[in-house]
Amino acid sequence: MITWSLLNYCLVLKRIIDILAVRGFTMRTCDLILKKRDGQSLNADEIDFLITGYLKGVIPDYQVAAFLMAIYFRGMSDQEIYALTRVIAESGENVSLEGIPGIKIDKHSTGGVGDTTTLVLTPLVAAAGVPVAKLSGRGLGHTGGTIDKLESIEGFKTGFSKIDFVEKAKKVGLIVAAQSPDLVPADQKLYALRDVTVTVESIPLIAASIMGKKLAIGNDALVLDVKTGAGAFMKEQKQAFNLARVMTAIGQKAGRATVAVISRMDQPLGKAIGNSLEIKEAILTLKGQGPRDLEELCLLLGGWMLYLGGKTIDPGEGKKDLARLIKNGAAINKFRDMVENQGGNKSIVDNLALLPAARLRVALKSEQKGYISSLDAQKVGSAAVMLGAGRRIKSDPIDPATGIILEKKIGDYVQVGETLAVIHASDATFRDVDHLVTGLIKSAYHYSNKTVPAPPLISGWVDRKGNSIYF
Ligand code: URA
Ligand code: CA
């Protein structure tokens, strides 16, 4: 009898403590949201309190959504962004690359359409002797993801334990694997919330999200590809340079040499958008038969990677070295080694017909004549998602064979009835979305009756000292 009432006492007391704790949490959370809403700065402990509380499920979505919106409008100081980056980086497991000899260089793109660079760049740079151990993501929204692309190769594995990840990287000097859910869980939870609260396009939030992921992996240096233009998060060049400066400063402060190239995403990169189609495009590029814009950007980013990896005295020299590795076959050989090392069918490299291919191909004809003056990457990306090449929500399946090949790009002249683009689709899906997809692609093309120069590939870069170079 006495024991029972004592137990009851304890239970009631615990309940009171819990309620008080939650009240305390709630009040403190409100104070911090208020501070940011009114444009004040938070210190590192306050940022840690909010993000850790959110990750533990103590602070609810609606309060963090309000906090994110406050950041969207008020911005963050460099100190706040660095604190947020560190909390994200330390929210889960970290991956040490100490077992891999050499200067390890990572690469990251802020997201684009038909952005096949990682698939070309990583074997290219590894062929030059710079080890690359890269964790990549899946596609979400109108942009594609490297992991989805690689998984269109039969047998190709992207999930490894930390030990196997390092061992496999050592074996061929290259691995591209999927980011596990244990790495930066705070970013995953925050990103999902940002996606549905329209708070993705914020410089502090993008910088902390990307750099949080980068700092969780023990690379020595980093080359960022910051996209700008209609198909990118940063539509304006000025914003893109700002984002680049913020991210390179975070890298430097964390002891990682970081440079950022600002590249144009007015139109999709290369000709292919879609998973299997981009694998083909990457293989052709590594053999020296790819689209010029894709090859050029890869050589440029790769030149910086060689430079930071101590292989050349300047990025321009690195570019020339890499062009030689495409010519002499070393680059495509490294890609073949990577496919084999990760369990994939390496015969696809020499026989592209072994890759998944769509049964239905529909040529989209131009209804006008003239020079292509713009080509909206976001619309083309959305059309590819509708065909099954990407996901609208996380659980959507991917159809690796589907996508779009752009036959005409900015600056090209087109006659009435000439093919603008070829749609690769499955019969079943296309029946449901044909009008939407063709409508989107047609509306992505704009014409001019005067000649239009091909747009520049890059706008400039931010070097490791934080200097901006504009082209
Ligand atoms: N890519 C990321 O990883 N995070 C962002 O916030 C935006 C692009
Ligand atoms: Ca492409």
Per-residue pLDDT of the chain (471 residues; tens, 9 = 90+): 555 677 787 777 766 665 566 656 766 999 999 999 999 999 999 999 999 999 999 999 999 999 999 999 999 999 999 999 999 999 999 999 999 999 999 999 987 888 899 999 999 999 999 999 999 988 766 677 899 999 999 999 999 999 999 999 999 999 999 988 889 999 999 988 998 898 988 999 999 999 999 999 999 999 999 999 987 888 899 999 999 999 999 999 999 999 999 999 989 999 999 999 999 999 999 999 999 999 999 999 999 999 999 999 999 999 999 999 999 999 999 999 999 999 999 999 999 999 999 999 999 999 999 999 999 999 999 999 999 998 877 778 899 999 999 999 999 999 999 999 999 999 888 888 899 999 999 999 999 999 999 889 999 999 999 999 998
Q: Which residues pair with 257 in a beta bridge?
A: 221
What pLDDT sits at residue 17?
Answer: 64
What pLDDT sits at residue 27?
Answer: 66
Query: Measured between alpha carbons, how far is 295 from 207 in angstroms, rounded to an integer?
Result: 27
What pLDDT sits at residue 24?
Answer: 64
Closest ligand relative to 187 C-alpha: 1
Please check whether residue 336 is in contact with residue 414, taking contact to mean a CB–CB distance below 8 angstroms: no
Span from the CA of 290 to the centroid of ligand 2 (angstroms): 10
DSSP string, 31-81: HHHHHHHTTPPP-HHHHHHHHHHHHTTSS-HHHHHHHHHHHHHH---HHHH
Q: Is 458 helix (H, G, I), strand (E, B) or coil?
A: strand
CB contact set of 341 (below 8 Å; sequence gap of 6+):
168, 171, 172, 174, 175
Please check whether residue 383 is in contact with residue 258, taking contact to mean a CB–CB distance below 8 angstroms: no
And the tokens for 326? Answer: 């495409």
Please check whether residue 75 is in contact with residue 205, taking contact to mean a CB–CB distance below 8 angstroms: no
Q: Is 115 helix (H, G, I), strand (E, B) or coil?
A: coil
In our burial notation (b when 16+ CB lie closer than 10 A, e otherwise), range 131-156 reads: bbbbbbbbbbbbbbbbbbbbbbbeeb
Which atom, in ligand 1's list, is nearest to the CA of 205?
A: 6
Ligand 1, atom 2: nearest CA belongs to which residue?
Answer: 210
Does the annotation count 61 as an active-site position? no
The residue assigned the tokens 């925050």 is: 190
What pLDDT sits at residue 139?
Answer: 75
Query: Measured between alpha carbons, how far is 454 from 220 in angstroms, rounded to an integer?
Result: 36
What pLDDT sits at residue 355?
Answer: 98
Torsion of Cα atoms, 53 then 55 then 56 then 59, to 10°: 40
Q: Which residues pair with 419 in a beta bridge?
A: 365
And the tokens for 148? Answer: 């989805």
- Residue type for position 429: T
Burial class (CB in 10 A: 0-12, 13-18, 19+), 209: buried
Span from the CA of 66 to the centroid of ligand 2 (angstroms): 37
What pLDDT sits at residue 177?
Answer: 95
What pLDDT sits at residue 23?
Answer: 58
CB of 143 shorter than 6 A to ligand 1: no
CA-atom Rg of the chain in angstroms:
24
Helix (H) / strand (E) containing 261: strand 257-264
Span from the CA of 200 to the centroid of ligand 1 (angstroms): 8
User: Does the model's pTM come out above 0.85?
Assistant: yes
Query: Measured between alpha carbons, how far is 267 from 262 in angstroms, rounded to an integer?
Result: 15
Closest ligand relative to 88 C-alpha: 1
Please check whether residue 378 is in contact with residue 229, taking contact to mean a CB–CB distance below 8 angstroms: no
| Given 115, 187, 225, 321, the catalytic residue | 187
CB of 366 shorter than 6 A to ligand 1: no
And the tokens for 275? Answer: 């998973």
Please check whether residue 121 is in contact with residue 302, taking contact to mean a CB–CB distance below 8 angstroms: yes
CB contact set of 240 (below 8 Å; sequence gap of 6+):
226, 227, 228, 232, 234, 262, 459
The residue assigned the tokens 């970013």 is: 187
Please check whether residue 287 is in contact with residue 273, taking contact to mean a CB–CB distance below 8 angstroms: no
| Ordered domains of the chain (ranges, CATH) | 2-74 (1.20.970.10), 105-352+459-470 (3.40.1030.10), 358-448 (3.90.1170.30)
Closest Cα partner for 266 from 395, 375, 136, 365? 375
Does the annotation count 28 as an active-site position? no
